[in-house]
Amino acid sequence: KVLDASTLSFGTRVRWFAICFVAGIVCSILGTALLWLPKGIKLFAVFYTLGNIAALASTCFLMGPVKQLKAMFEPKRLIATVVMLLCLVLTLCAVFWWNKKGLAVLFCILQFLAMTW
């Protein structure tokens, strides 16, 4: 029953939702602030991606991971989910392997758009 949200109390689920959500916002803001440093694009990409992962994790505490995954991969959300997950990986590839700053920023923007879609 580890994957079932109902095994946690409502208060615990809300608390962990808030912790992950705030951590996601902090990571995204920190990443954006670090963008202006020399070599800051790598830190930006990592923190921005971690922020989006934390935001996804936050809703897992409310819904439960299995229900979250089912919702994410519903036909009406499938394209957005695939684009978002692909852009998470491509953002990191762009800065660490391809050394393409512009692509990293583009993939971050696509992450954001896919998550809001």
Provide block-wise average pLDDT over 10 residues at a time, the chain (117 residues): 63 91 92 85 90 90 86 90 92 91 89 85
Picking from 56, 30, 54, the residue whose alpha carbon sits closest to that of residue 43 is 30
pLDDT at 102: 86
Alpha-carbon span 1 to 3, nearest angstrom:
5
pLDDT at 82: 93
pTM equals 0.79
- Phi-psi region for residue 30, left (φ > 0), alpha (ψ -120 to 50) or beta? alpha
In single-letter form, the type of residue at position 115 comes to: M
Contact status, residue 26 vs residue 51, Cβ threshold 8 Å: yes
Alpha-carbon span 32 to 27, nearest angstrom:
9
